[in-house]
Amino acid sequence: LNLSIELWGNGYAQVERSGARVVGLYPIHPEAVSVRRRPDGALDYRWTRDGRSFVGTDRDVLHVRGPGGDPLGGMSTLQFGR
């Protein structure tokens, strides 16, 4: 996730759960993700991996944002430092 934040300003990982426990985090390439705010205020994540499409909420996706952004996304730390 660190490299994604450095270069794209956002790091994403799909969260795998077993009941209430988090048992896995699977990185998602930032260019494959789109983030939208739903009418109820929640964030909606859509991405593709290996030809499959996924849709999730903040419960399904760990989203680490770079500096200077908003809830939809951050700024690359390299760009921020420049």
Please provide the average confidence, as pLDDT, over all residues in the chain: 92
pLDDT tens sequence across 55-72: 999 999 999 999 887 889
Please give the full DSSP string across 15-35, using - where no structure is assigned: EEEETTEEEEEEEE-GGGEEE
Q: What is the mean pLDDT of residues 43-59?
A: 95
pLDDT of residue 26: 96
pLDDT of residue 62: 97
Unique residue bearing structure tokens 């809830």: 71
Please tell me which residue, 68 or 20, carries the higher pLDDT value. Answer: 20
Residue 69: in which H helix or E strand, if any? none
